[in-house]
Amino acid sequence: MQNLENWQERVDLAAAFRWTARLNMHEGVANHFSLAINDDGTKFLMNPNQMHFSRIKASDMIVVDANDPDTLKGPNAPDPTAWGLHGGIHRGVPHARCAMHVHSIHATVLASLEDSLLPPLDQNACTFYERQVVDENYGGLAFEDEGARCATLLTDPDKKVMIMGNHGIMIIGDTVAETFNRLFYFERACETYIRALQTGKPLRLIPHDIARKTSAELASYPEQDTRHLNELKAILNEEGSNYAK
């Protein structure tokens, strides 16, 4: 199996799928992660159609060509919404090398509020201060036109989190490790915010200048994303998981 092209990228993606399932951030057999494998980003790895995140292995990844509709005719071809949303992003947003879309509970609660911006409530939330965008024009299932529309919201390279109003979230990044790390901490920050709202008490938000400073510090924090994913793979390895097969 290790003779398959882009083997390490496949392993990293598989680990991210497995851990997303473990954290209950999956949506059954829905939702998708993708990773570009050519220079312009239009050819990418993706999970096979309708396979549960907890079962996905490195060798299961399919190769999708965003410029070739015949991709939809191949074995385990992506469903039309995967093609529409991820194809649209990889065609229209070259800096989105990796894209992770989930309907995780707390981020989706945030996406369902009238004001869906995550405020700087704690240190984790500061990671995303002025680095998120809200899609306020949900248009139904993410078929091709909807995917192309969503892609236009991610053209600013500083905005790597799209809160998809009434839908979920889309996280982009350069690598699997970076993107998964961002996904993990965004969900954590959303959970803290939602739980704080549930108290009904006033929120103590971090001032603008401190939030911006903290965001910049976290953006340049060394190796945290790589070490995070490596630790998750180490745990899976110790457990005898077959994710890397």
**Average of pLDDT values for 201-206?**
98
| pLDDT above 80 for 145 | yes
Answer yes or no: is pLDDT of 131 > 70.
yes
Domain boundaries, the chain: 7-238
Distance CA 213, CA 216 (A): 5
Q: Residue 142 above 90 pLDDT? A: no
Rounded Cα gap, residues 153 and 159, in angstroms = 9
Question: What pLDDT shows up at residue 3?
Answer: 67
Above 80 in pLDDT, residue 30? yes
Instruction: Give burial (CB, 10 Å; 0-12/13-18/19+) of 177.
Output: buried
CATH number of 7-238: 3.40.225.10
Mean pLDDT of 118-143: 94
Name the more confident of 82 and 6: 6
Q: Quick check: 72 pLDDT over 90?
A: no
Phi–psi pair at 28, nearest 5 degrees: 65, -120
Residue 168's beta-bridge partner residues? 164
Residue 204 pLDDT more than 90?
yes
| Residues facing residue 202 across a β-bridge | none
DSSP 127-160: TTTT-EEEE----SS--HHHHHHHHGGG-STT--
CA distance 123 to 70: 45
Query: Which residue blocks in the chain are alpha helix, DSSP H?
Result: 7-22, 80-92, 105-111, 123-126, 144-151, 176-199, 208-219, 224-238
With a CB cutoff of 8 Å and minimum separation 6, the contacts of 51 are 29, 60, 76
pTM, rounded to two decimals:
0.95
Whole-number mean pLDDT of the chain? Answer: 95
What pLDDT, on a 0 to 100 scale, did the predictor assign at position 2? 60
Tell whether the torsion through CA atoms of 87, 72, 63 and 235 is positive or negative.
positive
pLDDT tens for each residue of 100-127: 999 999 999 999 999 999 999 999 999 9
Closest to 16 in 3D by CA, of 207, 121, 171: 171
